[in-house]
Structure 1
């Protein structure tokens, strides 16, 4: 009888890991933010925002209590063409010397079907803050087999207008609309680690 009670207690304890709000730190090695746009109708170039930093709170039982806060350092911007990277960081576009980071802070998280979320938040580029809505898919919430800690993974998409954020050079020849595709893994911080 004691063994049965112990097994039940362990099962409940394990299940409760994801039954309440859990705070995770984004893993920059497994987080990609990819932007894509139309160039003169000829091609669809992409740029990758790396070195992502952020915190994610996920509450599976009450998704409205979830939140996300992310910083994209423009030092990590990579279009796979070094000269173009410099142009994107210049005052023609992001003016990274003056505005070194892009930030996103959620203001609302809503359920949008099985394994789906709609995340609304404030996106700030060049000190201009506008609302943005992410369509999010929960990939997995479980113990990470390599890190040996609780982890969660999401994909997300959204479409933005460059002109809303002061990076509208060459519109309409280069599309105003930019598609963003995001994939991320986030881990519960190690015990004693900096959780900022």
Structure 2
């Protein structure tokens, strides 16, 4: 599938997009799943043929695991500290098509005021004349972002993140 799109600004369609997480806890016995319900973002395809760029912003307090007590703890200073750091932001500095029809996205992820470089490989799952949906699965080491709370060693440091982001030309 070709990923060539017209130049211009593209807005994230939050109703057609999702960010899900999975994390092993209780010494690997329990698989916790959740999703961020507060999403925003935009992208830009340069008219001069330069690399595409953009942002994906998650409202940290919007993480919903289906367990209220756990969600409150995730919002606390032990984890996301949402009062001080209300957003998680991925800033894409370059998105380029791959020969297999996928896309490589290079950028920076900021969580709790810690910014780390991140390169993702995605798949274009849908494309129209004015929109594109990209799916990315990756693993994030939460310790790199100051999310190191781990009472009695019960939590592994790696979290699986699955993103399906639909951008529509504005």
How does the TM-score come out when normalised to structure 1?
Answer: 0.76
Larger Rg: 1
| Larger RCO (CA within 8 A; separation ≥ 6) | 2
Q: CA RMSD in A?
A: 2.0
- Of residues 103, 114, 134, the one that matches 1:128 is 114
Instruction: Please give the secondary structure, in 2, of the residue aligned with 1:44.
Output: strand
Is the 8 Å Cα contact of residues 52 and 93 (structure 2) preserved in structure 1?
Answer: no
Aligned to 2:28: 41
Answer whether contact 2:107 2:118 (CA < 8 A) is retained: yes
Contact in 2 for aligned 1:37/1:177 (Cα 8 Å)? yes
Instruction: Check conservation: 2:124, 2:135, Cα contact below 8 A.
Output: yes
Task: Give the whole-Å Cα distance in 1 for the aligned partners of 2:147 and 2:99.
Answer: 34
Unaligned ranges ≥5, structure 1: 1-17, 144-149, 190-196
CA positional deviation for 1:186? 1.6
More helix by share: 1
Return 5+ residue gaps in structure 2 as ranges: none
Tell me the SS of whatever aligns to 1:45: strand
> Structure 1 runs of 4+ off > 4 angstroms?
none
Greater share of strand:
2
Equivalenced residue count is 164
Q: Distance in 2 between matches of 1:48 and 1:168?
A: 20
